[in-house]
Amino acid sequence: MIEVISGTNRPGSNTRKVAGHVEAVYKSLKVPVQLLDLAAMPPEIFSPSSYAEKPAAFAKMTDRILAADGLVVVTPEYNGGIPGILKYFIDMLPFPESFERRPVCFVGLAAGVWGALRPVEQLQAIFGYRNAFIYPERVFIPVVHNSLNEAGCLKNAEIEKRLESQAVEFTKFVESLRGKKLR
Ligand SMILES: Cc1cc2nc3c(=O)[nH]c(=O)nc-3n(C[C@H](O)[C@H](O)[C@H](O)COP(=O)(O)O)c2cc1C
């Protein structure tokens, strides 16, 4: 199973729209996939007591990460970095088993012209620290509003091609590292 993580909880987020597109790409390849939306983080997880003891309502998200064959993290750029909620989500997951030797790849999107290069590189540092298997081909979506139509669907053929190519190659990467076929 591939888990596509939509890396913000902002209502109406473009990240969620791009994550939905990525999910659809894996479905079209017949690769089992689910979308994990950080907007669904349970309110209890934001209590400071969660560092010591995780609320039961968070277990469903944890279990999905621990069961994933591969993770696709879709991140926007917020103030030159990853959203606080995405880092908090990472910090709330069990250490070290959440990411140790788990295949991961990255998609970044931003209002600005750098297409979330900075947050994606921050994620590479974090997942590198956590000994994840990082897939090297990243996809960046600059000036994201120009690449989405009014219905929130991607309308940029070049970006669509890159996302498809990343999904095809990341699937092979995951299959070789997990030693099994995903479809
Ligand atoms: C708190 C916040 C900070 C942001 N900071 C940046 C930034 O540093 N650089 C940038 O290009 N866009 C920035 N943006 C714009 C986002 O990249 C833009 O909203 C984009 O659609 C992706 O985020 P979304 O999923 O919230 O829609 C920021 C947006 C928010 C809400």
Domain boundaries, the chain: 2-178
- Residues in contact with ligand 1 by the CB-under-6-Å rule are 8, 10, 13-15, 76-80, 109-112, 144
Q: How confident is the model at residue 113 (pLDDT cuts 50, 70, 90)?
A: very high
pLDDT of residue 155: 94
Q: How far apart are CA 148 and CA 172, in angstroms?
A: 28
pLDDT digit string, tens, across residues 4-61: 999 999 999 999 999 999 999 999 999 999 999 999 999 999 999 999 999 999 999 9
Count how many residues are written for the chain: 183
pLDDT digit string, tens, across residues 46-91: 999 999 999 999 999 999 999 999 999 999 999 999 999 999 999 9
Report the residue among 5, 78, 79, 144 best suited for mutation to probe ligand 1: largest number of ligand atoms under 8 A from its CB: 78
Specify the CATH number of the domain 2-178: 3.40.50.360
